């Protein structure tokens, strides 16, 4: 039996939980089924209560207190503990069927997939042991386009996530309402499909000339891979959320296993002609 899920990842403050809430609301409005899984041991406020919550296994406060760690180290420790107790997650997802999309709300510390392969290993467990057809949604806040250096770093982080997670992947530029009217459609397109030229010219202005060659090499890396493109998201706009959900469905192959819904028709006898 196939199962379907999406890992919602991205830096802190990019709107992951808001996107998850919008996705849950939209799926409910379309009479589909979803399951919300919180994997952030520091999260406290939820618009929708998680059906599965890592804090039922371990909290960030407990990890920090018991191991004498700071927030980032505590978060890594929480995930290491999760990976040692995957039977807890397995049992929590045991009843999930192929008609349900599981939404995994992940923490914003990129160390979990750039410095240590914790999220990649979790993705392998979900796709292998639990037979999930899994995709990743990487969110980057739209205000990053105002500061080209931050956009430059965010694009690199998105590419790193794509390479490390090794699952179907979409990149999303969130909170698009915050930059409405500040850029023309033509200018914005250069960020949605990152133009190395616009990134490099602005970054050069803000860095010491001795680092220009390094900037050029990193931008060349982005250009050579040509992997990163962004979809636009306004979480309060139903059409925008539906567009993102359609991409997720395509990535995980959700529609391929869903049976067509045929309305019940009254029994008719087709052996005799029907009177007009």
Instruction: Kindly indicate the confidence band of residue 90, based on its pLDDT and cuts at 50, 70 and 90.
Output: very high
Instruction: Kindly indicate the confidence band of residue 35, based on its pLDDT and cuts at 50, 70 and 90.
Output: very high
Token pair recorded at residue 209: 């000339």
Highest mean pLDDT among 12-21, 109-118, 261-270: 12-21
Q: Flag whether pLDDT at 122 surpasses 50.
A: yes
Of 156-165, 189-198, 199-208, 232-241, the poorest mean pLDDT is in 199-208
Instruction: Kindly indicate the confidence band of residue 271, based on its pLDDT and cuts at 50, 70 and 90.
Output: very low
Q: Flag whether pLDDT at 70 surpasses 60.
A: yes
Domain ranges of the chain: 3-193+229-257, 196-227
Averaged pLDDT, 224-232: 87
Class of domain 3-193+229-257 as given by CATH: alpha beta
Average pLDDT, rounded, for the chain? 87
State the SS3 of the chain: CCEEEEEEECCCCCCHHHHHHHHHHHHHHCCCEEEEEECCCCCCCCCCCCCEEHHHCCCHHHHHHHHCCCHHHHHHHHHHHHHHCHHHHHHHCCCCCCCEEEEEECCCCCHHHHCCCHHHHHHHHHHHCCCEEEEEEEEEEHHHHCCHHHHHHHHHHHHHHHHHHCCCEEEEEECHHHHCCCCCHHHHHHHHCCCHHHHHHHHHHHCCHHHHHHHHHHHHHHHHHCCCCEEECCCCCHHHHHHHHHHHHHHHCHHHHCCCCCCCCCCCCCCCCCCC
Q: Flag whether pLDDT at 260 surpasses 70.
A: no
Instruction: Kindly indicate the confidence band of residue 208, based on its pLDDT and cuts at 50, 70 and 90.
Output: confident
Highest mean pLDDT among 152-161, 194-203, 261-270: 152-161
255 vs 199, more confident: 255
Q: Flag whether pLDDT at 76 surpasses 60.
A: yes
């Amino acid at each position: 039996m196939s199962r379907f899920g999406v890992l919602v990842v991205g830096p802190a403050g990019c709107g992951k939980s808001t996107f998850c809430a919008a996705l849950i609301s939209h799926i409910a409005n379309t009479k589909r089924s979803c399951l919300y899984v919180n994997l952030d041991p520091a999260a406290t406020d939820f618009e929708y209560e998680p059906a599965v919550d890592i804090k039922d296994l371990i909290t960030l406060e407990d990890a920090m207190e018991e191991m004498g760690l700071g927030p980032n180290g505590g978060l890594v420790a929480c995930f290491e503990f999760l990976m040692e107790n995957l039977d807890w997650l397995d049992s929590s997802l045991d009843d999930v069927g192929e008609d349900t999309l599981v939404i995994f709300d992940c923490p914003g510390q990129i160390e979990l997939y750039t410095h240590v392969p914790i999220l990649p290993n979790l993705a392998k467990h979900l796709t292998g042991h639990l037979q999930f057809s899994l995709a990743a949604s990487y969110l980057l806040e739209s205000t990053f386009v105002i500061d080209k250096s931050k956009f430059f770093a965010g694009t690199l982080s998105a590419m790193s996530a794509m390479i490390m997670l090794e699952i179907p992947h979409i990149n999303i530029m969130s909170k698009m309402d915050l930059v409405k009217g500040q850029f023309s459609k033509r200018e914005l397109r250069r960020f949605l499909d990152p133009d190395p030229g616009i990134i490099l010219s602005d970054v050069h202005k803000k860095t010491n000339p001795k680092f220009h060659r390094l900037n050029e090499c990193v931008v060349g890396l982005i250009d050579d891979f040509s992997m990163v493109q962004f979809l636009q998201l306004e979480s309060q706009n139903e059409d925008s959320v539906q567009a993102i959900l359609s991409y997720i469905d395509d990535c995980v192959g959700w529609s391929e296993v869903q049976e067509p819904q045929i309305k019940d028709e009254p029994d008719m006898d087709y052996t005799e002609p029907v009177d007009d």
